[in-house]
Amino acid sequence: MATETVLLVDDEKEILQLLSIYFGNEGYRLLTASDGKQALETLDRENVDLVVLDVMMPILDGIQTCIKIRERYNMPVIMLSAKGQDMDKITGLSIGADDYVAKPFNPLEVLARAKSQLRRYNRLGAKKPTGEHEIVADELTVDTASHRVTVEGTEIHLTPREFAILEMLARSPGQVFSTEQIYAKVWNEPFMESANTVMVHVRKIREKIERDSKKPQYIQTVWGVGYKFIPTD
C-alpha cells in the first residue's frame, strides 16, 4: 500500500470526495483544500509528495497557486481543468505543472497519472553512490541524489520533469536527443505529437539556469533534430 501524502485541491466538494475515495483505497495519506490559499497554508505545515490542483478556484486560482508552489517546492503537480485545448495545457505545463487532466475525467486515470509521477519523483530522489551523483559543467551543478540544481552556488528550483530533462541531457554531453526521445523517456509514454510540450519545458529550464536564455550556454537547440547539453572544458 502507498504511504505518500497527496494534497487534493478543488472547490467542488463532490470532486474532492470522489478523488479521496480512489486515492484512499490505494492507501495514500490525504489532505484537502478548497482554494489555493488553503493549499499553500497546508504545504507550509505538512510534508506533501504530490498535489492534484484544480485551475478554476476562488480566492487564489490554480495557475497562481502553481506558480507559488514552484517558488518553494519540487513535488509533482497535476492540474485539473474543464479546459482541454492545447494552449490551456501548454499554459499549465509552462508555469510548472507536471501533468494536466481535462474535466470531466476518469478518476482511475488521475490515480494512474499520480502513481506515475510519484514513481518518477521518488526515483529521481533516490540515493545514488557517492561520486556518481554530481554532474558539473562550468557554474552549473546537477546533484541527482538530492535532486538539487545550483548555478554559481545558488539553488535553482526545477519541477520534477524539468529536472528529468536536464539530467537526461547532462548525463550525455554532446549527444543530440530528439523531442520524441525526450518525451518518451521523461513522460514514460509514447510520443503523441507533443513537441510543443518538450519545447515549453526546455524553455523554462533555460530561463532558470542560463544567464541569457536567448543565448543558452548549457542546452543547445539542434534545429530540426532536438536538443543537446553543451560540454565544457
Beta strand 176-178 with 219-222 is: unpaired
Q: Where are the beta strands (DSSP E) in the chain?
A: 5-9, 29-33, 50-54, 77-81, 99-102, 134-137, 140-143, 148-151, 154-156, 176-178, 219-222, 226-229
Helices within 33-159 (DSSP H only): 36-45, 62-70, 86-94, 107-124
- CA–CA distance, 168 with 163 (Å, rounded to integer): 8
Q: In angstroms, how far is the first alpha carbon of the chain from the final one?
A: 47
Instruction: Tell me, yes or no, if the pTM score tops 0.95.
Output: no
What does the pLDDT read at residue 132? 53
Mean pLDDT, residues 106-122: 89
- Whether pLDDT at 153 is above 90: no
Mean pLDDT, residues 15-29: 95
Instruction: Give the pLDDT band (50/70/90) at residue 128.
Output: very low
Q: What sign results for the dihedral spanned by CA atoms 183, 187, 192, 194?
A: negative
- CA–CA distance, 95 with 200 (Å, rounded to integer): 9
Using an 8 Å Cβ cutoff, are 30 and 20 in contact?
A: yes
pLDDT digits (tens, 9 = 90+) for 137-152: 888 999 887 788 999 8
- Whether pLDDT at 114 is above 50: yes
What does the pLDDT read at residue 2? 61
pLDDT digits (tens, 9 = 90+) for 181-193: 898 888 877 766 6
Using an 8 Å Cβ cutoff, are 52 and 75 in contact?
A: no
- Whether pLDDT at 125 is above 60: no
Bigger pLDDT: 202 or 86?
A: 202
